[in-house]
Structure 1
Amino acid sequence: MSEAKSGDTVKVHYTGTLSDGTEFDSSRGQEPLEFTLGQGQMISGFEDAVLGMALGENKTVTLASEEAYGERNEAMVQEVPRSAIPPEIELTEGMLLQAQGPDGETLRFTVADFNEEAVTVDGNHPLAGRDLTFQLELVQIA
């Protein structure tokens, strides 16, 4: 039976949950997730879990935060003047904002708090610092 190896393009159905059982993402009811193993397209623990899986195999893995989106970095939480946000943007807690970094890269922030004077933005991935559990099903190897 064929097993997934580095360089293979695979299709995987997955459901991701937090330690309390809350589902944060799933491909069920949609097209399976397609990616190439060994290309760094996925978080390391997810890719490592798929390596060696057989076609049609199902498994559940729990990834420590280091294997997923890393630990939270409090230095990535900053307060910026409200005037730095375009006035037409109606802020809400939890909303995502984008900005352009000094090297032209796209930076993503979550609004953590705001008032008339300042906005607290969090540059951590929303799942940083969390252990993640994935139910995986390998549906195609190419």
Structure 2
Amino acid sequence: MSKAKEGDRVKVYFTGTLEDGTIFGQTHEDEPFEFNIGEKSVLPKFESAVVGMKEGENKTILIAPEDAYGPRDEERMFTVEKSEIPDHITPEIGKKIQVQTGSGEMAILTVLEVSEDKVTFDANDPLAGEELTFEIELLEIVQTEPNE
């Protein structure tokens, strides 16, 4: 049986959990996750864990924050006047708000604090600073590069 390698398209099931057991991502039985190994469309440590796996094989990996979404950056937290927030947005603690940055990219901000006249946001990725555990099952190697 062949092993997954760079250039292969693979289908996997996975469950991603935080240190406290909270599930942050999971595939469903009828919808496996499909990606091309080597295209850097997934976390590098996730991708390298799949390399060498055989169809039907299971693996559990731990990914440190610096190899996932990086450490939490206090400089990515900021406060704005409530008057600067569009009327159609109601800031509530914990709410995630999608905004367009000055460069035209989309970003997700989490509301940390709301006072009478100010709102504090966190622009860190929600998984920044977290150690991630992935349980991975390689379901299928969909296509392989020629010249095996």
Q: Give deviations 1:1-52, integer Å, cap 9, x for gaps.
A: 1111112111110011111222222113440111111112112221121122
Asked if the contact 2:13/2:29 (under 8 Å) is kept, the reply is no
Give the gaps of 5 or more residues in structure 1: none
Q: Deviations over 1:39-83 (max 9, x none)?
A: 121122211211221111101111111111111111101111112
Question: TM-score normalized by structure 1?
Answer: 0.92
Residue matched to 2:42: 42
Q: CA RMSD in A?
A: 1.4
Residues 59-111 of structure 1 show CA distances to partners (whole Å, capped at 9, x for unaligned) of 11111111111111111011111122211222221211122222211122111
* 3-state secondary structure, aligned to 1:129: coil
User: What's 1:16 paired with?
Assistant: 16
Q: Does the 8 Å CA contact 1:46/1:68 hold for their aligned counterparts?
A: no
Equivalent residue number for residue 132 of structure 1:
132
Residue 31 (structure 2) pairs with residue 31 (structure 1):
yes
Whether 1:76 aligns to 2:68 is: no
* Identity across the alignment (%): 47
Matches of residues 107-126 of structure 1 in structure 2 within 5 Å? 107-126=107-126
Q: Is the 8 A contact 1:17 1:132 kept in 2?
A: yes
TM-score (norm 2): 0.89
For 1:86, the equivalent position in structure 2 comes to 86
SS in 2 for 1:52: coil
- The answer as to whether partners of 1:69 and 1:125 remain within 8 angstroms in 2 is yes
Structure 2 Cα separation of the partners of residues 117 and 136 of structure 1: 46
* SS in structure 2 at match of 1:62: strand
Q: Is the 8 A contact 1:45 1:63 kept in 2?
A: yes
